[in-house]
Amino acid sequence: MKRFFIQRSKREQVLILLFALIGLAWWGTSLSARANDQYRGWRAAHEEFKTQELWLEQREAILERVVSAGETLDPSRALDSAQSFAELDRMLSGLNAEVSSQRTERTQQFALHGLQVNIRRAPLSDILKFYGQLSERAPYLGIDSCVISTDRSSRGMLNVNFRIYSIEVISSEE
């Protein structure tokens, strides 16, 4: 290679070197960017692996915590998704309300169902009645969060949005 270069004329040497340098700069830049991306990919994969390992290490402890936290629950009073939906529908009868189901978090022993209840233009007394019925089913049915606002168009009326949970105890036969 060196002999080949030495045997070229000066003009050819300049051109060869120029093209080689351009090629090197082009390739080197692209390679450096890709190598950097790949390095970050490795780092991310490594971090994800470590996080997964941590979760797996904690697996038994977490499941024990779930069992322990649910020990006081009475399976006969717990509600599955359909039951909680029906129960809320019953409690909301007579109110201008809408119920929709949301995501469910589930383990082998328990499931936590999320439901959204939106009540429109209802007097405070009706809402308190619904709230009273809901409180009777605690902790199997309860409120995650709520937003109460006055209805601008109807004085004395309220709009209320509840995010409600229901706990389901999954029996071992299932």
Partner 1 sequence: MPATSTSASVHATTDPAVILLTGERFFVRRIPIAADSPAAPQVELALETISPFPLEQMFHGHVIDRAQRHALVYSAYRRNFSAAEQADWANAESVLPDFLMHVFVPRGSQATDATLHETDAALTAIAWDSESELPALILHRPVSNENREQSKAELLAELTRRTQVDLEDHSIVSGPITAKLNEKQSVLLSCEEHTTPPLSTAFLAHADVRDGQVLATKRRANRSASLWCNTFTLVIVALVLCLVVELGMIVTSKLLDSRQGRLDERNPEIEKIESAQNLANRLETLAAEQLRPFEMLAAINAPRPQSVEFLRVSTRGPLQLEIDAQTANANDLRTYEAALKSLPFIASVTISDSRSRSGLTTFSLEVTFKPRWTQTGGGS
Burial code of 38-73, b = ≥16 C-beta within 10 A, e = fewer? eeeeeeeeeeeeeeeeeeeeeeeeeeeeeeeebeeb
User: Using the rule CB under 8 A, is 24 a contact of partner 1?
Assistant: yes
Pick the binder of partner 1 from 145, 153, 171, 172 (CB under 8 A).
145
Return the residues of window 114-133 that contact partner 1 according to CB under 8 A: 127-128, 131
Of 97 and 167, which CB lies nearer to partner 1 in the complex structure?
A: 167
* CA dist 20 → 4, 28, 52, 101 (Å): 14, 11, 46, 65
Measured CA to CA, the distance from residue 159 to residue 167 in angstroms comes to 26
Choose among 134, 108, 130, 103: nearest CA to 119. 130
Helices (H) and strands (E) in the chain, counts: 4, 4
User: Using the rule CB under 8 A, is 138 a contact of partner 1?
Assistant: yes
User: Using the rule CB under 8 A, is 9 a contact of partner 1?
Assistant: no
Please give the size of the binding site for partner 1, defined by CB under 8 A.
Answer: 56
Q: Which two tokens mark 106?
A: 């589930």
User: Using the rule CB under 8 A, is 56 a contact of partner 1?
Assistant: yes
User: Which residue has tokens 């009540």?
Assistant: 119
Of 98 and 105, which CB lies nearer to partner 1 in the complex structure?
A: 105
Pick the binder of partner 1 from 33, 82, 139, 154 (CB under 8 A).
139
User: Using the rule CB under 8 A, is 142 a contact of partner 1?
Assistant: yes
User: Using the rule CB under 8 A, is 20 a contact of partner 1?
Assistant: yes
* CA dist 128 → 80, 95, 105 (Å): 24, 12, 29
Q: For binding to partner 1 (CB under 8 A), which residues are involved?
A: 1-2, 5-6, 13, 16-17, 20-21, 23-24, 27-28, 31, 34-35, 38, 41-42, 45, 48-49, 52, 55-56, 58-59, 62-63, 65-66, 69-70, 72, 105-107, 110, 112, 127-128, 131, 135, 138-139, 142-150, 165, 167
